[in-house]
Amino acid sequence: MVEMTVRPQSSLADRPVQVQVRGLSPSQLVTLRASLKDEQGECFQARAFFRADGVGEVDPGRHAALGGSYSGVWPMGLFWFLQPDTLFRRLVKRDVAGSPFIVHLEVFDGLCLVTGPQDQPLASCQAERWYVGPGMQRVPIREGRVRGALFLPP
């Protein structure tokens, strides 16, 4: 049985996570895909192709991606290379304190350039990416022409 995990499942957006897939056949070709919808409903995706190692595992932190959105060993590649489905959109988090980005991670058999609703993943999981840690205080800044926010730790 194929299992996909992300550790930690909930973390700050600037913290690394570890993505692992277990239970594949040795040398099996798979596609790992990360996707999220921003606050306006725009979809962002990244995908990478991997060959499972001799024990049937894929770890983007140890194994090189063979292609897709990136190639080579990038532990956070599925997060860093997220691209919009619609051209000229940017991934921006407006409500930084109220909710996280939910990143959906999936593994598909073979090389999948495009996935549709009929394509079922072998396994999937989710990661929460928060922009403000627990207990942070947000102080609005308005001084002359300067506008911003100061985030103070607890």
Task: Write the pLDDT tens digit of every residue in 3-27.
Answer: 999 999 999 999 999 999 999 999 9
- Residues above pLDDT 90, as percent of the chain: 84
112: left (phi over 0), alpha (psi -120 to 50) or beta: beta
Cross-strand partners of 127: 103
For tokens 């194929």, what's the residue? 2
Say how far apart CA 116 and CA 120 lie, in whole Å. 9
What pLDDT shows up at residue 22?
A: 98
CA distances from 140 to 135, 143, 147, 151 (A): 16, 10, 8, 9
Q: Are 129 and 11 in contact (CB under 8 A)?
A: yes
Say how far apart CA 9 and CA 46 lie, in whole Å. 18
- Residues above pLDDT 70, as percent of the chain: 100
Closest CA to 78 of 21, 121, 20, 35: 35
Q: Is 128 exposed, middle or buried (0-12, 13-18, 19+ CB in 10 A)?
A: middle
Q: How many CB atoms lie within 10 A of CB 36?
A: 21
Say how far apart CA 55 and CA 9 lie, in whole Å. 24
CATH of span 3-152: 2.60.40.2240
For the segment 56-84, what is each residue's pLDDT rounded down to a tens digit?
Answer: 999 999 999 999 999 999 999 999 999 99
